[in-house]
Amino acid sequence: MPKRTDIKSVLIIGAGPIIIGQACEFDYSGAQACKALKAEGFRVILVNSNPATIMTDPLLADATYIEPIHWKSIEQIIAKELPDALLPTMGGQTGLNTALTLAKEGVLKKYNVELIGASREAIDKAEDRELFDKTMKGIGIETPRSGIAHSMEEALIVQEDLGFPCIIRPSFTLGGSGGGVAYNIQEFKEICEKGLDLSPTTELLIDESLLGWKEYELEVVRDKNDNCIIICSIENLDPMGVHTGDSITVAPAQTLTDKEYQVLRDQSFKILREIGVETGGSNVQFGINPENGRVVVIEMNPRVSRSSALASKATGFPIAKVAALLSVGFTLDELQNDITNGLTPASFEPSIDYIVTKIPKFAFEKFPQANDRLTTQMKSVGEVMGIGRTFQESLQKALQSLEEDLHGFENIIDNSSDQNETLRYQLTFAGSKRILYVAEAIRLGWDAEKINQLTGIDFWFLHQIIDLIDEENILQDTKLNEIDFDKMLNLKKKGFADRRIADLISSSTKEVRDFRKKLGVTPSFKRVDTCAAEFATETAYMYSAYEGECESRPTNNKKVIVLGSGPNRIGQGIEFDYCCVHASFALQEEGYESIMINCNPETVSTDYDTSNRLYFEPITEEKVLDIIDLEKPEGVIIQFGGQTPLKLSEVLLSNNVKILGTDVDAIDRSEDRKRFQSLAHQLNLRQPPNSTVKNLKEALKVSEEIGFPIVVRPSYVLGGRAMELVHTQVELEKYLKEAVEVSDKKPILLDGYLTDAIEVDVDVISDGKDIEIGGILQHIEQAGIHSGDSACSLPPYSLSEIVIKEIEKQAKKIAAELNVIGLMNIQFAVQDNNVFIIEVNPRASRTVPFISKCLGESLVKSATKIMVGKTLKGISFSNLLPKNYFFVKEAVLPFDKFPAVDPILGPEMKSTGEVMGIGSSFGEAYAKAQRAANKIFPDSGLAFVSVKESDKKYLPNLVPLLLEQGFSLIATRGTANAIKELGHDAQIINKVTEGRPHIVDELLNNRVNILINTTEGRQSIEDSASIRRTALQNKLFCVTTIFGAFAILEAMSTSSDDWIYNSLQEIN
């Protein structure tokens, strides 16, 4: 039975901003769903608050709403669009929860919208732990022994029955947020308290401990005729106890016999049927006791998930696309397997003849106070996947893909005396680098038995790693010229990078590479074909291996390689994948064959039909050059993938590879401080006083010339890594001694801090002759807060015409001088109408997708076309913003995942994602952006105000606004006195250091509705951290900058009843 004809329009809810637990995999799934449904003639209505996504490109849906994913906003959109159906399974937990709320609030019934893909009952049965447990028992499937608790008293009763350790998981939270393992009663109470609070249903599931059990996932697809298939089995290398999102995982499962695997398969189908997932994809997780094979089901997700994205990339089977089509009535046998050119139907199970390994990427360096041990709550921010013909090859490729200066199993432990102690700790309590510690333990002669005991990692995997370390040990005593063809081939088959070989034999990457090529050991590329070569494929989705025939078959077309952005991390995320995908689209529009290289399985760029050809490979010197050797492209684009491809620019140049667009030297001119200074000087532009120092003495001397406060940071970093604002010489000294390494090779940059300056982001596009401004973004938070963490507004909401003209003039001057071909981003600071230049990046920035959404025109596409020879005039570039709209971008921060971290904004970027608010005024746009970021602000009540000395001058403006809005005030002594001097009333409350009752007590007593808390200086920040932490835990709206306070007051002055909801198609 083909597609349903009673449905004409479908509403799809996206996943919103990138957060820990929900990353670009839902852009991938949502984009697939939009494309598939639109191609079938449905009117697709999309809601997603995240402007950096491909799915929100106006071409992908018929009506694209970049609006808050909040049931009240979506109700407005439903009322306007009147969709026939709602597909809730493409937008992760957010999409599912929001759909459930819409159902519960009666919206779906009111507007007669049918839930497709998953019914309300199915979602409830799968997501409500108690119901799930009961449902499983009903069909004879074992779940972990467990109990449900809705209060601490109930929790303690359950615990008594289960003993320690036990696992606590709150219902309906993201990425297992708020859960944990308790080994003692104190931990137990702490976790339960937090969990009860975080769970929207105040519900905890407390499980028997399955620590050390083997963990598996099956990706299941079912259609309305009850055809069920497994797309992929995934085995977690890290056993139970580590969230699957934080585990190294391997597909297909490697350590199960068929009998055991089929038990999981049968149970998966049984579960899907019983839960009632009638159409679409689901993910079922199992634990298996390695001693006796006892199987328990852990959970199931009645939706497309991170694992389905991984499974799709691992097999070539497009789960999201198929799931979307099944939801509108198709059956599996009616759909074709694209990869085999439609020769076979989608109703089969992929068989793969390679191994994929996923390794998560973490950002603990950004959150030094956070607990960096891996638990049942997900903490990773991104992931990479390595494909190899063997597990060893795929594992080593995945390590190389992480961009953590790993080329294999690098040494990680120093020769200190407590090596054994360190190892025991690192193996027992998994951290982000446990796999490297496993290798170190092997080097130190620990046997597999012992490592297995501590880690629970299966012997099969351990022995594979032991073999690699054996190989390394032999290699260490080898000279390059002693390696013959067979030896080299064997090493490459095991996934050893040239660089790792070079390190082990004290040679250089280039030497090893040249020698290897001379031996004739070069990679051959294999295709991901879903069928283990049983059928031929034309789909050019490839990975490298060292074995026999190369299946790549490069064409003679004119072609360009786009280098992707690798794993998501803080500072480099989905924005850059958006850019790479658009570059690929533009190349195709210009008649080029586009070739993508990337290693991030969550992305749209690694979809097999985004580019003409896809190489799923680490973005390293070796792999990229190998592909260039084979493909011989006209050029390579490195402007769009963030720092990842830029790091390869020198290598590419020295290998005579043509880099399209702006000359690489321009990057150096803008990143090298000295050269940048002379550039600014030459163009007569003002910089804040600044200097580069190579040691402490120099730093102290220079700091006197610059004057405090000073922004300090290492050179060549992205996302403001280790950037700090220091106010005194003591703080500067502390920074240089404790926070960073400073040396001749690693200089430190000192910039005079422009107090109370407004920061401005400008994106420029140039064809070398004409230069146009893409957009000017005014930051809400003042200079000093990392631009990635600032909210910003397009158009600027308070800059004068003269300042804007001056900014444009300066931006164009720089673009002309650097001879930019393509995109460039500049950061300015405006202090008392003086324009200072802060930073120049001659490449795509993270604001590019946002601006493109505002303009209704892709800056990247334009830039790409320019890079292959078009002119701005030739492509009729326009930078006209739609009239009467404000667009606000707000950053989304992961503080709720790291409770020990001070949730204060600073010069180091910490946000994981962004949202956009669109309004007819700045206030409305800002208000919607806050709702989209899930920051719910009050409109009256008690406001706590405590501002730093330098902000007190703003009180005369701020206080009346607060009072007018209907707030009464409570303040710390200094601020309260200042308020009283203004003739207003403020209740005085102690600082935490001043005795009790203090402000934290008031917060805990739920008396305060909003906090305006600005502070500076290490000591003051430390002293007041508990205020902000408490506010975060109690979900209180907390503003940590004075400009942010003004912005939120402007937001409060709008009424959500009056907010406008216009699609991008209507706006542009």
Partner 1 sequence: MSFPAVLILEDGSLIEGTGFGAKEISVGEIVFNTSISGYQEIITDPSYAKQIIAFTHPHIGNTGINDEDNESDSIFASGIVIKDLPNHYSNWRATQSLESFLKSKKTIGISNINTRALTAKLRDHGSLKACISPGDKSSLSTAQKALNDFSGLEGLDLAKKVSTKNSFSWEEGTWPNYQEVKDDKLIVAIDFGVKKNILRLLRKYVGKVQVVNAQISFEELMKHKPDGVFLSNGPGDPEPCDYAIRLIQQLLDINMPIFGICLGHQLLALSGGCKTYKMKFGHHGANHPVQDLHSKIVYITSQNHGFAVDLSSLPTNIEPSHISLFDESLQGIIFKDKPAFSFQGHPEASPGPHELEELFIKFNSMIDYHAKKN
Footprint of partner 1 (CB under 8 A): 225-229, 233, 252-262, 265-266, 290-293, 331-333, 344-345, 347-355, 389-391, 448, 458-460, 462-464, 467, 526, 531-536, 547-549
Instruction: Find the shortest distance in angstroms from Cβ 1020 to partner 1.
Output: 56
- Local structure of residue 472 (DSSP, 8 states): H
Task: State in angstroms the smallest separation of the CB of 618 from partner 1.
Answer: 20
Give dist(CA 190, CA 205) in Å, integer: 15
CB 563 within 8 A of CB 624: yes
Cα distances (Å, whole numbers) of residue 108 to 84, 86, 124, 275, 931: 10, 9, 16, 21, 21
Nearest approach in angstroms of CB 118 to partner 1 is: 22
271/604 with CB nearer partner 1:
271
**Element of type H or E holding 115:** strand 114-115
Q: Which is nearer to partner 1, 337 or 841 (CB)?
A: 337
Output the smallest distance, CB 767 to partner 1, in A: 46
Task: Give the tokens for residue 850.
Answer: 């946002």
Q: Is the dihedral of CA 309, 315, 320, 321 positive or negative?
A: positive
Closest separation between CB of residue 263 and partner 1, Å? 9
- In the chain, the amino acid numbered 1001 is D
Of residues 491 and 531, the one with the C-beta less far from partner 1: 531
Q: Which of 530, 790 has the CB closer to partner 1?
A: 530
The HSE-up count of residue 331 (CA atoms within 13 Å, CB side) is 8
Main-chain dihedrals φ then ψ at residue 513, nearest 5 degrees: -60, -50
Going by the DSSP 8-state scheme, the letter that residue 949 receives in this structure is G
Q: How far is the CB of 452 from partner 1 (least distance, A)?
A: 9
Q: Least distance (Å) from partner 1 to the CB of residue 314?
A: 12
Residue among 180, 14, 197 at smallest CA distance from 92 = 14
Q: How far is the CB of 551 from partner 1 (least distance, A)?
A: 8
Considering the complex, what minimum distance in angstroms separates the CB of residue 525 from partner 1? 12
Closest residue by Cα to residue 989 from 941, 1039, 1049, 945: 945
* Parallel/antiparallel/unpaired status of strands 1010-1013 and 1037-1039: parallel
Residue 25 beta carbon to partner 1: minimum distance, rounded to whole angstroms:
24
Give whichever of 74 and 335 is closer to partner 1, judged by the CB atom: 335
Question: What is the rounded CA–CA span in Å between residue 514 and residue 484?
Answer: 13
- Based on CB atoms, which residue is closest to partner 1, 536 or 1004? 536
Cα Rg for the chain, rounded, in angstroms?
28
- Cα–Cα distance measured from residue 14 to residue 77, given in angstroms and rounded to the nearest whole number: 14
CB of 267 to partner 1, least distance (A): 11
User: Of 445 and 548, which CB lies nearer to partner 1 in the complex structure?
Assistant: 548
Q: In angstroms, rounded to a whole number, what is the distance separating the alpha carbons of residues 493 and 501?
A: 13
Query: Based on CB atoms, which residue is closest to partner 1, 346 or 423?
Result: 346
Taking the complex as a whole, the smallest distance from the CB of residue 461 to partner 1 amounts, in Å, to 8
Q: What distance in Å separates the CA atoms of residue 751 and residue 753, rounded to the nearest whole number?
A: 6
Q: How far is the CB of 229 from partner 1 (least distance, A)?
A: 6
Tokens 């202090």, residue located: 831
Amino acid at position 247, single letter: S
Residue number, 401 or 537, with CB nearest to partner 1: 537
Report whether the peptide linkage leading into residue 252 is cis, meaning its omega lies within 30 degrees of zero. yes
Least Å from the CB of residue 384 to partner 1? 20
Min separation Cβ 212 and partner 1, Å: 13
Residue that has been written with the tokens 């210009």 in this structure: 590
- 270 or 991: whose CB is closer to partner 1? 270
Residue 411 has, within 13 A of its CA and on its CB side, a CA count of 10
Tokens representing 763? Answer: 């994106």
Burial per residue of 736-773, b for 16 or more beta-carbon CB atoms within 10 angstroms, e otherwise: beebbebeeeebbbbbbbbebbbbbbbbbbbbbeebbb
CA dihedral 665, 667, 671, 672 (to 10 degrees): 0
User: Between residues 354 and 735, which has the closer beta carbon with respect to partner 1?
Assistant: 354
CB of 466 to partner 1, least distance (A): 8
Give, for 589, the enclosing helix (H) or strand (E): helix 574-589
Burial class (CB in 10 A: 0-12, 13-18, 19+), 654: exposed
Classify 181 as helix, strand or coil.
strand
615 or 836: CB nearest partner 1: 615
Minimal distance, residue 93 CB to partner 1, in Å: 29
Asked whether the CA dihedral 452, 456, 459, 464 is positive or negative, the reply is negative
Chain length of the chain: 1068
- Which is closer to partner 1, CB of 290 or CB of 554? 290
- CA-to-CA separations, 10 to 1, 62, 82, in angstroms, rounded: 19, 10, 9
Place of tokens 């919103």: 16
- Closest CB to partner 1 among residues 154, 547: 547
Give the pair of three-digit tokens for residue 1012.
């305006």
State the Cα–Cα distance between residues 221 and 323, nearest whole angstrom. Answer: 7
Three-state DSSP class for 139?
Answer: coil
Q: Which is nearer to partner 1, 354 or 578 (CB)?
A: 354
How many other C-beta atoms are found inside a 10 Å radius of the C-beta of residue 584?
30
User: CB-wise, 113 or 531, nearer to partner 1?
Assistant: 531
Instruction: Give 526 or 721: the residue with its C-beta nearer to partner 1.
Output: 526
Residue 620's region, left for phi above 0, alpha for psi from -120 to 50, else beta, is beta
Amino acid at 909: M
Task: Give the nearest distance from C-beta 416 to partner 1 in angstroms.
Answer: 31
1 burial (CB, 10 Å; 0-12 / 13-18 / 19+) is exposed
In terms of CB distance, is 380 or 394 closer to partner 1? 394
Phi, psi of 839 (to 5 degrees): -155, 145
